[in-house]
């Protein structure tokens, strides 16, 4: 039978919101209702008749509510195949009622963990009966309708209204698939809670929120974002955020988190093409843009301060895809919103994601995110000449940028401003030569500038090129068997160099 009329239902829910309308409609359709503890009281308080589970099983709820529905008289009525004579005969023999509809809302395990509750409270929020009801009903979707989470209530109400309680096999199968999605995600949450301490080398992640994007990296590729973007960002204006926008937004948020001073950055293809820290926001913007006004076209802009009218007027002169800030004053927002496609975002929180993972070959690579940021205290001077106070500040500044740039990368900076960078190069020397040429093209004087490298210099050629361009101080991880060649060159030519001991490859 492809269509199934609901004649009996078992309701066992933790949250009662949204349930009243369903209960009233089931009662109107003449559906026999069975329910547990708090759900039964909720239904009875509505003046609607419902049978208690314990009246069917002849067993009370025991072990502090841990065992309520786990009984053959319940699960027999769910799992019995209606086209199987032997199953039906056993239902009759043991006086087991058929159940056509299961509505479950599981204990809020994830929310309890997030609340910082004790382990005792967390363990008690591992749902046993509810998850078993979901799996049993979903398994027998040929005959059973399963509503497994509150997000399905509105569509189910429409179905009851339009079909008078008759549900097609196609709908039942879809609901079963959604039910197994709920149960699998719930189990993953429980495993990850335990594994946060046990550290079993098994990877389990689940994302139930999916947003279909216009396309993927290119128009011929399908793209989907899984996650709750609204937890991190609010979109105030503009077109739909694209796949490539999301990549740049992620890079922008990760980079800006490094800076406490008033800072503006311009991101293009996941790399900073402009960045500056200044006491005044408009100056930070102008100096960030000066780093590469060509690449800034169509880029993603981000700052860690509220955007004011004066800064917005300057920003508005540039075509860009996305702007991100913690807030905007009224006048600034009015200026920025006059272009309908411009994406305006408010950053609410920092990214709290300690792991990164990506597909590789027929599997997946997982690693801890690079959360280490070196300060002046982490720098070891390896040359005779010590960097002065301003150079140390710029070295720290440049090293933050190099950490968030694609390898191989070289960053040239001065006075808390990105002069230029060479990113994603197959050769470190080429990265440096590109950065030098770019800085000169945009009018920067590299005399007195600093240089940062994401990895060690295998030869002295890079520091020699830097010296010839007037660069006075260098920061790098160190660790090459030829480190002494770079150190010796610096000593011979009055340059200072510091090692951090930490490589920042980014591929």
Residue 335 main-chain phi, psi, to 5 deg = -65, -45
Helix (H) or strand (E) holding 306: none
Separation between Cα atoms, residue 452 and residue 396, nearest integer Å: 9
Taking residue 290's Cβ as centre, other Cβ atoms within 10 Å add up to 17
Angle at 204 between CA 202 and CA 206, to 5 degrees: 175
Residue with tokens 């300060």: 375
Angle at 412 between CA 350 and CA 456, to 5 degrees: 85
Residue with tokens 């363990």: 123
Those residues with Cβ within 8 angstroms of residue 108's Cβ, 6 or more apart along the chain or in another chain: 14, 15, 125
Catalytic residue among 24, 139, 309, 440: 139
| Among 17, 129, 16, CA closest to 78 | 129
CB 374 within 8 A of CB 396: yes
Q: Which two tokens stand for residue 186?
A: 């719930």
Catalytic residue among 237, 269, 286, 309: 269
Q: Between the CA of residue 164 and those of 153, 157, 161, what are the distances in Å?
A: 15, 10, 6
Separation between Cα atoms, residue 157 and residue 186, nearest integer Å: 25
- Supply the DSSP string of 44-104, one letter for each residue: HHTT---EEHHHHHS---BTTTTBSS-SHHHHHHHH--TT-HHHHHHHHHTTPPP--EEEE
Told to judge if 139 belongs to the known catalytic residues of this protein, a careful annotator would answer: yes
Told to judge if 269 belongs to the known catalytic residues of this protein, a careful annotator would answer: yes
Kindly compute the dihedral angle of the four CA atoms of residues 9, 12, 13, 19, in this order, to the nearest 10 degrees: 30
Those residues with Cβ within 8 angstroms of residue 229's Cβ, 6 or more apart along the chain or in another chain: 211, 241
3-state secondary structure of 23: helix
Q: Which two tokens stand for residue 169?
A: 């096999």
Q: Which residues are catalytic?
A: 139, 269
């Amino acid at each position: 039978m492809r269509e199934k009329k609901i004649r009996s239902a078992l309701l066992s829910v933790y949250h009662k919101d949204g349930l009243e309308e369903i209960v009233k409609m089931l009662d109107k359709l003449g559906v026999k209702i069975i329910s547990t503890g708090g759900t039964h009281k909720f239904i009875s308080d509505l003046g609607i008749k419902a049978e208690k589970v314990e009246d069917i099983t002849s067993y009370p709820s025991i072990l502090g509510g841990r065992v309520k529905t786990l009984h053959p008289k319940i699960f027999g009525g769910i799992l019995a195949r209606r086209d199987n004579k032997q199953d039906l005969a056993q239902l009759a023999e043991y006086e087991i009622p058929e159940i056509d509809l299961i509505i479950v809302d599981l204990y809020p395990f994830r929310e309890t963990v997030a609340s910082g509750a004790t382990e005792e409270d967390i363990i008690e929020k591992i749902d046993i009966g509810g998850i078993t009801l979901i799996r049993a009903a979903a398994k027998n979707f040929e005959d059973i309708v399963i509503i497994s989470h509150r997000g399905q209530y509105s569509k189910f109400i429409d179905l009851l209204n339009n079909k008078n309680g008759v549900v097609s096999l196609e709908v039942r199968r879809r609901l079963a698939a959604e039910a197994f999605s709920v149960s699998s995600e719930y189990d993953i949450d429980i495993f990850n809670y335990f594994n946060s301490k046990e550290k079993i080398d098994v990877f389990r992640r689940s994302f139930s929120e999916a947003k279909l994007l216009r396309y993927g990296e290119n128009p011929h590729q399908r793209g989907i974002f899984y996650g709750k973007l609204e937890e991190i960002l609010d979109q105030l204006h503009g077109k739909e955020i694209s796949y490539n926008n999301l990549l740049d937004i992620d890079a922008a948020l990760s980079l800006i988190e490094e800076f406490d001073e008033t800072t503006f950055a311009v991101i293009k293809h996941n790399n900073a093409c402009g960045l500056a820290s200044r006491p005044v926001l408009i100056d930070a913007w102008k100096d960030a843009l000066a780093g590469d006004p060509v690449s800034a076209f169509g880029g993603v802009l981000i700052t860690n301060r509220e955007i004011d009218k004066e800064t917005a007027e300057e920003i508005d002169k540039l075509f860009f895809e996305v702007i991100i800030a913690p807030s905007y004053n009224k006048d600034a927002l009015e200026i920025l919103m006059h272009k309908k496609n411009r994406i305006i975002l408010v950053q609410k929180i920092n990214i709290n994601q300690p792991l990164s993972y990506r597909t590789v070959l027929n599997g997946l690579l997982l690693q801890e995110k690079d959360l280490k940021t070196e300060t002046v205290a982490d720098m070891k001077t390896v040359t005779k000449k010590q960097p002065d106070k301003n150079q140390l500040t710029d070295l720290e500044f440049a090293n933050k940028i190099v950490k968030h740039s694609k390898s191989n990368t070289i960053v040239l900076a001065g006075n808390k401003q990105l002069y230029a960078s060479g990113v994603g190069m197959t050769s470190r020397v080429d990265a440096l030569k590109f950065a030098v040429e770019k800085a000169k093209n945009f009018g920067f004087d590299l005399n007195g500038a600093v240089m940062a490298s994401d990895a060690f210099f295998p030869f002295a050629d890079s520091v020699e090129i830097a010296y010839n361009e007037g660069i006075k101080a260098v920061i790098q991880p160190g660790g090459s068997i030829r480190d002494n060649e770079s150190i010796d060159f610096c000593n011979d030519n009055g340059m200072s160099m510091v090692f951090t001991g930490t490589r920042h490859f980014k591929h």
